[in-house]
Chains A and B, each alone.
Chain A
């Protein structure tokens, strides 16, 4: 096993870093987690700059307006974006675009790919519902054919980005009589279409998500992606496209880097934290789990670069990374003892309350984007061949 990163790749990484330092400075990095409406114009500005460099669609085939760069280059780019909490149109570029390339019509590709690549537009994900989370295939929102349009009625929940994105990537039921996996279709919906109401949901991580209400929303037939009732198949395929972003190790590393720096300098009433053997043990364990996650992440990227489709490997990365980050956040607050509970803005808050906030943020990833219980099921059944329950 050879872990060498080529000089070219290192140079590219450096290039990205310099770009981000200039285009997405620290103040913006720190506030990125809020996903606020106020911040969106800055997000769009950065996105367009990415588009100008051709970095959205880095690894898309050239025939679709991409740069045709390698998987590893795309991977390195994603790591840096995540390290600096820089915005990236993940749904648009990572899910919508590859799906349109594989399953969409020529006309859809013409209408959307250039605008995604230029950074003009992003999509929010219309998947989960109040009664459809882990069991996504049981989604209920209806799309009924009416001449040249589909009429959408129903409710979506956890539609993060619905308050900012220009479009929605919507999974809806087109055939209620068919078995649940066989009656779903995928649509592209302009968020300005009449009938869509976006209600904010504030999370315990200070991150805004939404519940969206769809009342007689009329979507043109040209916005149906692929074949009617084949939507579930496309949803599954779309997951394969973004496996190496299954867990953003860059962002996790950034927190750990700041934690180490903070511990090095921390001194409370003359007590230097770095000298405490118990704190040293905790910090070391954090470092070990970070590097373990990094290697699992490289593995997924490498498999894809070899033309393979990782299945259990991506599940393992997501499962382990999210839990490791949870342990890290807990230990980070514990290391600072009583100071660990102080919020940003409080006197003596540690690192502007970063770890206090991180501790609240890490609650979600273990159930979001494929609950870890399901990931373990996948590892056991698809990875090790155990019989389904």
Chain B
């Protein structure tokens, strides 16, 4: 024989049990999705491709004709899309051009100096490519020095 109060108590207990089981299920599923998550890193390849596109834009056929680039707008000058993830720094003929957040250099140094364990956050390591391209700047031989950083896609 169950009284009305006891039936109400049993209902409350059932709700508590369901909430507890749901919480455990969410925790287990969440942890398994984090543990089995796999991120393929192609940022180094992207950095290399981007550097070649920039050089082809600035010096088509290896010759620099015009360098009227606005400060901090190197990628916009070359009509590159989705520039939020990139930081590029180029120097040629004593001039310096760049675009993006230079904090990417600090993040890259964090991964490369080895002072902290970065294995758990390896998926956030920026892609990097540094290169030098010999070109003709006006009538003189010069070298384009280019550093490209590609951050993780949000």
Are A and B a genuine interacting pair, yes or no? Answer: no
